[in-house]
Every structure is written in structure tokens, then in C-alpha cells.
Amino acid sequence: MDNKHSNPGSGLAAWGFLIVLVVLTFSTIYFFWARTWWFPESITELGRRVDAQFVRTLWVTGLVFFLSQLALAYTILRYTSAQPGRAVFSHGNTTMEIVWTALTAVMFVGLGIAAEAAWSDYHALGPAPAHSNPQIVEVTGKQFKWYFRYPGPDGVFGRTKLELVRDDLGNYQGVDFDDPAAKDDVLTAELAVVVNQPVQVTLRTLDVTHSFFVRELRFKQDTVPGLPITMNFTPEKTGVYEIACAELCGLGHHQMRADLKVLTPAEFEQWMREQAVYMAPLTGVEPPATETPESQPQP
Amino acid sequence: MTAKPAVEELDLIETGGPPADSGGRLGYGDDGGDFRPATPRSPQVYVTGIWIALASILMFFMGLTSSFIVRKGLGADWAPFTLPPLLWANSLVLLASSGTLELSRRAYRDGLRSVYRRWWHVTTALGLVFLIGQLVAWQQLRAAGVFVATNPSSSFFYLMTATHGLHLLGGILALAYVAARSRRADLVLWPAERPAVTATATYWHFLGGLWVFLFLLLWLGR
Amino acid sequence: MSTEGHHGAHAAPTGFIRKYIFSKDHKVIGIQYIALAITAVFVGMFLSLLMRLHLAWPTLELPFYGLMTPEQYLALMTMHGTIMVFFVLTTAPQSGFGNYFLPIQIGAADMAFPTLNMLSFWFTFVSFVVMLAAFFVSGGAPISGWTAYVPLSALGEVAGPGLGWGQSLWIVSLAIFSGASLMGALNFITTTLDLRTRGMSLMRMPLSCWAWFITAILALLGFAVLLAAGILLLLDRHAGTSFFIPGGLLVSDRVIDHKGGSPLLWQHLFWFFGHPEVYIAILPGMGIVSHVLSTFARKAIFGYRAMVYAMGAIALLGLGVWGHHMFQSGMSPYSAIAFSLLTMSIGVPSAIKTFNWIGTLWGARIRFSTAMLYALGFVSIFVTGGLSGLFLAQPSVDIPLHDTYFVVAHFHLIMGVAAIFGMFAGTYFWFPKMFGRYLNEGIGKVHFWLTFIGVYAIFMPMHYIGLSGHMRRLPDLSAYTSLADLQPVHLFMSVAAFITIGAQLLFLFNLVWSLLRGKKAVSLNPWEATTLEWTIPSPPPHDNFAGLEPVVHRGPYEFAVPGADNDYTPQHLPEVRAAPAHGDD
């Protein structure tokens, strides 16, 4: 039989679409509404603004999604060839075209413009304003670990040389400890910062492109070889958060994680004292006398 | 119902279409549709094709050019080097070949077969001279210790001249092909050769212009 | 008929080699491309099957394979993406169906340059062989993803396994592929401009032809830049240049002797090609879906002109949005704003097309052939996949979503599903014309429903795990405590994938069975369509129109014309029975 007309069972196809599209639409809307899977809570003000823009976008796209899928289901169900007569003879409707083009343009481009404010603030700061007394940290990604360096009380990072890299001694970035500025540098394998204080990070890498990503901060920035990038963030809640690598960097990419510890000022002082003990063999500088340090997490 | 004749068996062209009573079974308008004998494929396609190809080739060199500009702008290790003076002579040769190509085309339009052929052969020879000149210029650079990886400026030099040269080699082959055709005793010059002449000339002039652009870029940016 | 200017190109070839191997017939070449794409898609699906097995059961030891190492997973992932994007989505939609049907739909006897056409296919074939060879060289296939970001892809074996010979073969394969695509694009554009039959103005072309034409323009411009990028990368790898590799690198305890290059330059060049590439993958599908929808709705496409302009706008804007892949890359944040606004604008012509498809169905009389099921499914999938792009197009919202499974969901729905649905629609629609037999509609419908439900089951959950922060390209989750809860979702997606991949075997079976024993198509125009391919025998003879040419009298979607005998009025019927055009054109 040549398929000149709808085959028997075409009604089934129409109902099939209705079921699939209705299940798709309502389950999707449900999962987004109920936040069954969702971002972890934002701990920065910028993060909350990103979330707000996400929700705005969700409303717009959700509306278009709902209307489109159900309109599709409706037309499929209603206009089958089981209906008598021929289809409507029409090549379109210019008025409707103009209306929905204009509506879509306003919605989409409007969304886009709304998104720019959070973006500008995210990037325009760059280095934190000097008067905000930021905690300065250098973040270095290397296949397949994150390393952090604090400049110490002098606020200056010592110079580095590639030839001086000694992973076995804990000198992952090749800090030249003959440089006086390096004597108080602190090298760690976890990032500790003080809550409610701006943190200025300079992102670097020694080998390939990585990406520094902390979900709760809503912070993600590729680390590009040859291009140090300085940005800042201000965490507002204490806790331990995961730092992930978000750019494929080789066979160990999935293991490239570190801890971000947001601490109270007292906890941070304690943490710094512990790190200083482990820096002593590298810098040759005796740490100030303190209580017994807890075990340092192995880098 | 007798077996349908195979389409190839029908003398559609002679009869101007399938029998009217075939009722849509054979196609070609036997349902009342409008068919007529086909017009042959126009050789105009070659000229259109060349222009499309030039758009693509231009895009390729724009990719290289933007890489050049970005890489140079990164500062640090861009070291100038002296371009071999031979390149100026080469450029003149290539521009001259565009000139002789136009002389050839004018002769072609006037139907002067032997003049057309002569200038066409000169153009081909000049093109070869240019290519050889480029290779000699490379040789001079290597003798001066400037190689592909010496610094980014030299890298782009070798890359741009090599890719331009490869495209030019294609142009020389096209010129040689048209030259070979022009030697046939039974050759009908006009209008049969026109697409080949036009397409090849368009390509050749483009490569000449492209060379001027690349040379200026490499010289000003060295 | 005089043979003046007739180069003998349309004398039918003789001999097996000239007819079926090194054929210059656009129909044979189209089938060759489709056959290559089908081979490639099954290879690609097999690779993804292995990936999904590993993601569902990370400690599983596969027979003959053992435990999958991270580098093996990354190699599978790289080759899966590369093979699918290039050898499936850039071949079948454009070079496969386009080669077969563009000349016929515009009333031509063949493409403008048949010999070049043959070369295009065989270069593509060689490219595929070179790509597959990467699996078998020492070090194996590359692990840098289909995006091959520098420096990972530029440093050689020192940066990881597969990055030596494997990566070099990958680059060479794509360079050859680029050349082949450029030749093909040249052919498509020249053919569309110069070989349309009498009466076939541009605005009377089927929308499939417009899609192939616009896609060819994108390919012409995009692949030229990919070729340039590939040459620069090969030079960095093998000639000691530093276009992309910066200085100061220490990799695997070795100081790398390069300096001054820019990893971002690679990204700019790659994505300048890469973004048009995804439109190259989807546009032909859009054209085919428009065509199939109209035919089986028995109604003209809603807003033909708007559909043409929308495809043009998508292509034009598509050339300017590549930076939206690079928001977090270290690129200037100001250019991010420009790229973002342009990207959001692409949503507008895409929405126009969607509304017009639904508008076509309004007041229609839908016939539910399998081809139509796929066309309808395409509309749903395109909406879903396209809308997630709106999140990714905003740089601030992109921050938590970039390099997560949210992106994987987006591009799989659009490319891995919608574009493929366009291909299925084309296959079920045109199979009778190409082979004189039908694909089995019953098996086709089972194939459709399993696939339609299956792909949603696989890819919708990816949005959710992406929201939870699940990064891409992870061979396993064990390092991240925050992701441990998501393992059951991986299991669900994998099971859905196994079922869906299994359903494709139904399609393969249908294909082979129908080629051999399918029901013969007695009618030349079984779907009662209006375009020129339905006026010639199935399969068509070597020169398509047997030395004749059709004369076109109207647009391609004249259905339900008042006063006409049938509910369809083919393009080549003379004016006699046609009512004056009504409504907006």
C-alpha cells in the first residue's frame, strides 16, 4: 500500500506525542521548581546575583518551553488527517511573524542585557581595592594538583625559577628561597582564607590550561600558561569547600581537587602557624615557638 | 499491463517527453507537468567556481593574518630580521606576469591566436621564475641563520610564503594546462576557451594581489 | 539534440569501478557519504557505549579490555566527539543528502563539478582512515578532547598519553577533512547559483536547498580557518615554532623549550571555525524538517521567506559568536559582553523557525509517516536543546555552568539528537526515491518511539547534574565528595543509553532488510509531494532527468490550493489549474 493517506494507528502517534511532551514538560518544570538538583548555596554576594540572573533566565526559558512543547502537542493532536477536508491554504501571517519576533527579541536580548551587570562586577574588580585589605594568594595549577602561596607579612612574593621546582621537597612552584622576599612565603596544598574578608587570587599554571572552580563561590576562571589572571572574591560563610579543575588538563584531570577553607580569624592564625612549621626546612627560617602542630594534609 | 519500458529506452528527447497515457508512472511530466529538452551545462560554472574558491582562500589567509597580528602584539620575543632584497625583484616579476596575462587576454579577445599564446607562455614562465625566486630567497635566509623556528617573525614568513607558493603552483599548473590546450590545431578560441582563460586569469591576478598584501604585511610587521 | 558544449559528462558510466567506486554521479557520491556516516555513527556510538558502561560501573572490568584507565576514557571521549561531529554530522546532512538531492531538487543533471565531487568524497574517506589510525599507533588516540586545547595538544607525549602520534594523526585527518569540505562547499554553492532549471528562482527552491546552500557558505569560510589553525598547531608540534605555546612551562619535570605563544589564539581560531561548524551540523536538518513537515502536513510552510531569512541570520550571526565558548578562558571580559549579546540574538531567528514549524501544523492535515514523526520530534528536541543555550550565552550565568554536564546536555540535544532526527526524517522520506523500495514503516515507528523517549531519558538528567556542579570530562567521580550522590543518575542515563543504542540496531536492520526485500515503491510520488525529485523514476537514472529539464511554475509548498484537483500542486505543473497565490509569501 502506498502511503497516500494516514495509516491506521495514526491516532496513536498523536496521543503518543501528547503523552511524551506532557510528561517531558511537567517533569522538567517540576524538577526545576522543586530544585531536586540544584546549585549548592551561594556564599558570596556576587554568587547570589548570578543565581538571581539564573532564575530570571529560568522563568523566560521555562515559559517558552512550556508554551512551545504544549502548542506542538496540541497541534499534533488536533490537526490530524482524520479531520475532514483539506488543510488551510495559507503561506503564513506577517503580522504574527512581526509580533513574535519582536517579543522574542525583547525577551532574549533583554535577558542578555540584564546579565551584564553581574558579569561586569565579577570582572571589573580584578585586583581587590587596596583599602579593602585583601588576603593575597597566588594559585598555581600543575598537572594534577593545586598549589597556593601566601606572600607572608612583607606582602611580597619571592621570585620563582622553573629550575628550582622540587616536588619532593614541597617547592612546587620553584620559589627561590635565596630571595629575601621569599623567606616569609608560605606554600600550601589547601587554600585557607578568612570569612568576610576579600581574597585576591592571582591564577597561574606551570604546564597546561586548568580552571579554578569553586561551586559555592560561583567562581570559575581558566588558568592560562603565560597569562597570570588576578581576581577577587569575598566568602561570607565558614566551611570547607571543594576546589575543582574545570578544564581538561590530561589523564589526572579528575583528581585535581583541593580544599578551600573559609575560617574565622582565630582559626586562620592557627592554620598559618601550622604552615610555618612545615616551611622551615625550605626557607631556613625557624618558626615562632607554638603548640604542637596538627598533621598537615599531604599535598 | 505491459512491462514499463526502462527510462533509458524511451526516446524522451526525440518525442519531447513520455507518452501522455503513461499516467504518472514514468515521470518526466507524464502527469501533465512541464518538461523540455535540457540546456547543456554552461561553462560559466568555472568562473563562478573560481570566485567562490577565492573567497575560501582569502578566508584561509585572513586566519593566518589575524594570527600574525595577535602573535606580534604579544610583544616579548618578536625579533625583526632582514627580508632578502630578492623578494622585491620577485614581486616585480609576479606583477609583470599579471601584466603579460592581460596582454594575452587582450590578444585572445581580438582573436590573435599566436599573440595570445605567446604572452600566455611568458606569463607561465614568469610565474615559474617567481616560485624559483622564492625558493632562492628561502635559501638566502637559511644561509643567514634564519629558520622556521628562529623566532615568530620568521615562522610567519616561511608559513605565508609557503602557503602562497603552493597556491601559486596550482595557478602555474592551470596556466600550463590552458597553454597546452592552446596548442591544439583544431582549437576553437572563442567562445569555448573563454571560461578557462577567465577563470585562470582571475585566480592568477588574485594571487598577485594577495602576494602584495602578504609582502607588505611581512615587511611592515617584520 | 546538439551536443555542443556537452562534455560527455552525462553519458552513463560503465564498469563496476566507474559506476560504484570512483563515480562522479552525485547520487552515488551521496550514498557513499551516507554509508561513511553510518559507519562512523556506529563507531561513535560504540565509543559512547564504552564510556557509559564505565560511568555507570567505574570498577567494571570489560571482557578483552579489563579496567578502563582514565586516559582510555579520555581517548574514547575525544574520538567519540571528533568522529560524531565531523564524520557523522558534517557528512550525512550536507554531503550525503545534499549531494543526492540538491541537483535533483533544482532540476539539474548533476553537480557543477562532478570530478571535484568525487575527490571530495575520497579525501573524506582517507581522512576517516587516518582518524581511525590514531587508535592503533603507539600511545593511542589523543586525550585532549575534540577541542584539542593548547598547550595540552601541542606539547607531545610529555603532556600525556596519546598526545604524540595520536594527536598528530588527529590534526592531519582534520586538515584533509577540511580540504575535502572546502571542495564540497565550492560545488554546492556553484551548483545552486548556476544550475537551477528554468523557472526555479532562488525563492522557489525547497527549504532543504536553501539550507544546503547556506551551510555550504559557512563551511567555505569556517574550514578555511580550521585548516590554518591545524597547520599552525602542526608547526608548533613538529617544527619548533611557538604560535600557541607560551614560555615558562614545566611539564612532567621537563622545562619546555618554547616561548611567546598564546593558548588563547588556538581557542579563537578553533572556535571561529567551531561555532559555524555546529550550524553546519544543524541547518541541513532544519531544511529537511521544514520540507518533510510541510509535505506531511499537506500545508505550505508557514512563512517561507522568514524561514530563508532566519537561516541566513543564524548563519551570519553564527560567524560572530565564537567567543561564547571562551567566557572563562581569560579572554577580555568586554569582548565577552559583545559575544553574549550576539549569541542571545541568535535565539531570535531560531525562535522564528520554531514558531513557523508549529504554525505550519496549525490548520494542517497531518499524516503520521515515520519521516513525519522524526520531523515532529525534531521540533520538540530543538526547543529543549536550544533553550539551554540561553543560559550558557550569558557570561555570568555561564560561570557555574561552563564545563559542566549542563553544556553536555545542551550540545547533545541539539547536535546528537535534533540533527540526527533531521537525518532520520530525510532517510525515511527519501529512501523510496533512492532505492525504489520503502523502509518498513512498522519497524520505523518502533525505532522512533524508542529513540525519542530514550534520548530524553539520557540527556535531560545531564542538565540536573550540571546544575549540581558535575564537571565534564571526568573519567570518575571518586575524588569529589560533593558528586558522590550523583552516581545513581549516571546509572539511569547509562541504562537509557543502552536501550537507545540498541534501538538503533533496529534502524540498521530496517535499512539492510529494506534494501534487499523492502516493499517496492510503485508510485513515483508516494508521499504526494510537490518538489522535482518526485517527478523522476525511483531510483533516478544517471543524468536524473534523462536529457530533459523540468520547468518550474510555482513555489515548492503549494498544498491545498483552492480549486486544484489534488491537495498538492507540484512545482512543474503549468499554470493552468493553479489559483492565484493567497496570503503572505
- In chain A the domains, ranked by start, together with CATH numbers, are 10-79+95-124 (no CATH), 130-283 (2.60.40.420)
Contact predicate C196/B28, CB 8 Å: no
Contacts of B159 in chain C (CB under 8 A): 231-232, 235
- Which of the two residues, C65 and C242, has the higher pLDDT score? C242
Q: Are residues B52 and B27 in the same domain?
A: no
Contact predicate A81/C554, CB 8 Å: no
Closest C-alpha among C343, C357, C346 to residue C307? C357
Say yes or no: B55 contacts chain C, CB-CB below 8 A: yes
Candidates B34, B58, B154, partner chain C, best to mutate (most C CBs within 10 A): B34
**Residue pairs between chains A and C whose CB atoms are closer than 8 Å:** 369
- How many C-beta atoms lie closer than 10 Å to residue C225's C-beta? 26
Range C397-432 burial, b when 16+ CB lie within 10 A, else e:
bbbbbbbbbbbbbbbbbbbbbbbbbbbbbbbbbbbb
C-alpha Rg value of chain B to the nearest Å:
26
Q: What is the pLDDT of residues B78-115, one digit of tens each?
A: 888 889 999 999 999 999 999 999 999 999 999 888 99
Domain map (residue ranges) of chain C: 23-246+257-577
Candidates B1, B26, B50, B71, partner chain C, best to mutate (most C CBs within 10 A): B71
Indicate if the pLDDT at residue A127 is higher than 50.
yes
Q: Which three cell numbers stand for residue C113?
A: 563539478
Candidates A68, A106, A144, partner chain C, best to mutate (most C CBs within 10 A): A68
Q: What is the pLDDT of residues C518-545, one digit of tens each?
A: 999 989 999 999 999 999 999 999 989 9
| Contact check, Cβ <8 Å, A222/C262 | no
Indicate if the pLDDT at residue C10 is higher than 60.
no
Burial of C141 (0-12, 13-18, 19+ CB in 10 A): buried
Q: Which three cell numbers stand for residue A3?
A: 502511503
Distance CA A273, CA A267 (A): 10
| Contact check, Cβ <8 Å, C5/B41 | yes
Tell me the pLDDT band of A169, cut-offs 50, 70 and 90. confident
Burial of B121 (0-12, 13-18, 19+ CB in 10 A): middle
Q: What is the pLDDT of residue C227?
A: 98
| Contact check, Cβ <8 Å, C351/A100 | yes
The minimal CB distance from C396 to the residues A64, A79, A118 is found for A118
List the beta bridge partners of residue A221. Answer: A212
| Helix A45-78 × helix C370-392 angle, to 10° | 160
Query: What integer is the mean pLDDT of B2-11?
Result: 51
- Answer whether residue B214 is part of any domain: yes
Contact predicate C471/A246, CB 8 Å: yes
Contacts of C251 in chain A (CB under 8 A): 143, 206-208
Q: What is the pLDDT of residue B9?
A: 52
Q: What is the mean pLDDT of chain C?
A: 94
Q: Find the closest chain B residue to C2 by CA distance.
A: B40
- Answer whether residue B124 is part of any domain: yes
Query: What integer is the mean pLDDT of B161-184?
Result: 94
The minimal CB distance from B38 to the residues C227, C241, C547 is found for C547
Q: Find the closest chain C residue to B62 by CA distance.
A: C225
Q: Where are the alpha helices (DSSP H) in C438-584?
A: 441-467, 487-517
| Contact check, Cβ <8 Å, C376/A76 | yes
Enumerate residues 109 to 138 of chain C having a beta carbon within 8 A of any beta carbon in chain B.
109-110, 112-113
Of A80-89, A121-130, B120-129, C169-178, where does mean pLDDT reach its minimum? Answer: A121-130
Query: What integer is the mean pLDDT of C93-106?
Result: 98
Give the containing element (helix H, strand E) for A136.
strand A135-142
Query: What integer is the mean pLDDT of A85-90?
Result: 93
| Contact check, Cβ <8 Å, A253/C355 | no
Q: What is the pLDDT of residue C578?
A: 45
Say yes or no: B194 contacts chain C, CB-CB below 8 A: no
Q: Find the closest chain B residue to C242 by CA distance.
A: B152
Distance CA C84, CA C80 (A): 6
Range A82-116 burial, b when 16+ CB lie within 10 A, else e:
eeeebbbbbbbeeeebeebbeebbebbbebbebbb
Candidates C71, C167, C243, C366, partner chain A, best to mutate (most A CBs within 10 A): C366
Q: Are residues B151 and B86 in the same domain?
A: yes
**SS3 call for C155:** coil
The minimal CB distance from B36 to the residues C524, C536, C549 is found for C549
- Answer whether residue B67 is part of any domain: no
Tell me the pLDDT band of A10, cut-offs 50, 70 and 90. low
| Contact check, Cβ <8 Å, C224/B70 | no
Contacts of C213 in chain B (CB under 8 A): none
Query: What integer is the mean pLDDT of A270-276?
Result: 90
Closest C-alpha among B138, A251, A226 to residue C476? A251
Range C99-128 burial, b when 16+ CB lie within 10 A, else e:
bbbbbbbbbbbbbbbbebbbbbbebbbebb
Name every residue whose Cβ is closer than 8 Å to that of residue A278 and which is 6 or more positions away in sequence.
A170, A293, A296
Indicate if the pLDDT at residue C584 is higher than 70.
no
Q: Are residues B108 and B19 in the same domain?
A: no
Query: At C93, which amino acid appears?
Result: P
Q: Which three cell numbers stand for residue B171?
A: 595557478
Contact predicate C333/A115, CB 8 Å: no
Topology of the domain covering C23-246+257-577:
Cytochrome C Oxidase; Chain A (1.20.210)
Find out whether the peptide bond into B191 is cis, omega within 30 degrees of 0.
Answer: yes
Indicate if the pLDDT at residue C289 is higher than 50.
yes
Helix, strand and coil content of chain C, in percent to the nearest 5, comes to 65, 5, 35
Q: What is the pLDDT of residue B28?
A: 83
| Contact check, Cβ <8 Å, A60/C559 | no
Q: What is the pLDDT of residue C582?
A: 46
Q: Are residues B53 and B13 in the same domain?
A: no
Q: Which three cell numbers stand for residue C521?
A: 515503491
Domain span at residue B17 reads 1-38
CATH number for the domain spanning B168: value is 1.20.120.80
Distance CA C145, CA C142 (A): 8
Contacts of C304 in chain A (CB under 8 A): 91-92
Distance CA A228, CA A63 (A): 42
Burial of C243 (0-12, 13-18, 19+ CB in 10 A): buried
Q: Which three cell numbers stand for residue C500?
A: 537507545
Distance CA C66, CA C43 (A): 20
Name every residue whose Cβ is closer than 8 Å to that of residue B24 and which is 6 or more positions away in sequence.
B30, B31, C523, C524, C525
Q: Find the closest chain C residue to B53 by CA distance.
A: C186
Query: What integer is the mean pLDDT of C368-387?
Result: 97
Distance CA C71, CA A249 (A): 11
Q: Are residues B146 and B113 in the same domain?
A: yes
Enumerate residues 134 to 193 of chain A having a beta carbon within 8 A of any beta carbon in chain C.
142-143, 162-163, 165, 167, 174
| Contact check, Cβ <8 Å, C113/B45 | yes
Q: Are residues B18 and B101 in the same domain?
A: no
Residue A27 CA from chain centroid, whole number: 26
Indicate if the pLDDT at residue C378 is higher than 70.
yes
What is the DSSP code (8-state) at residue C83?
I
- Answer whether residue B123 is part of any domain: yes
| Contact check, Cβ <8 Å, B34/C523 | no
Range C252-282 burial, b when 16+ CB lie within 10 A, else e:
eeeebebbbbbbbbbbbbbbbbbbbbbbbbb
Query: What integer is the mean pLDDT of C312-319?
Result: 97
Say yes or no: C9 contacts chain B, CB-CB below 8 A: yes
Q: What is the pLDDT of residue C7?
A: 39
**Residue pairs between chains B and C whose CB atoms are closer than 8 Å:** 187
Q: Find the closest chain B residue to C531 by CA distance.
A: B33
Report the number of distinct structural domains present in chain B: 2
Q: Are residues B28 and B54 in the same domain?
A: no
| Contact check, Cβ <8 Å, B37/C570 | no
Contacts of C361 in chain A (CB under 8 A): 72, 75-76, 79
Q: Which three cell numbers stand for residue C34?
A: 551516507
**SS3 call for A224:** strand
Q: Which residue has the cell 518502533?
A: C446
**SS3 call for C298:** coil
Indicate if the pLDDT at residue C144 is higher than 70.
yes
Q: Where are the alpha helices (DSSP H) in chain B?
A: 12-15, 44-73, 86-109, 113-143, 152-182, 194-220
List the beta bridge partners of residue A220. Answer: A213
Contacts of B70 in chain C (CB under 8 A): 262, 265, 268
Distance from CA of C472 to the nearest CA of A (A): 7
Q: What is the pLDDT of residue B14?
A: 56
Q: Which residue has the cell 575524588?
A: C479
Name every residue whose Cβ is closer than 8 Å to that of residue A98 and which is 6 or more positions away in sequence.
none
pTM confidence score = 0.94
**SS3 call for C570:** coil
| Contact check, Cβ <8 Å, C368/A94 | no
Indicate if the pLDDT at residue A205 is higher than 50.
yes
Query: What integer is the mean pLDDT of A113-131?
Result: 75
Q: Are residues B76 and B123 in the same domain?
A: yes
Enumerate residues 219 to 278 of chain A having a beta carbon within 8 A of any beta carbon in chain C.
219-222, 224-227, 229, 242, 244-257
Contacts of C524 in chain B (CB under 8 A): 24-27
- How many C-beta atoms lie closer than 10 Å to residue B69's C-beta? 11
**SS3 call for B34:** coil
Say yes or no: B77 contacts chain C, CB-CB below 8 A: yes
Q: Are residues B16 and B56 in the same domain?
A: no
Query: What integer is the mean pLDDT of B48-75?
Result: 95
Contact predicate A235/A217, CB 8 Å: yes
Enumerate residues 23 to 82 of chain C having a beta carbon within 8 A of any beta carbon in chain B.
none
Give the containing element (helix H, strand E) for C317.
helix C304-318
Enumerate residues 184 to 213 of chain A having a beta carbon within 8 A of any beta carbon in chain C.
206-209, 211, 213
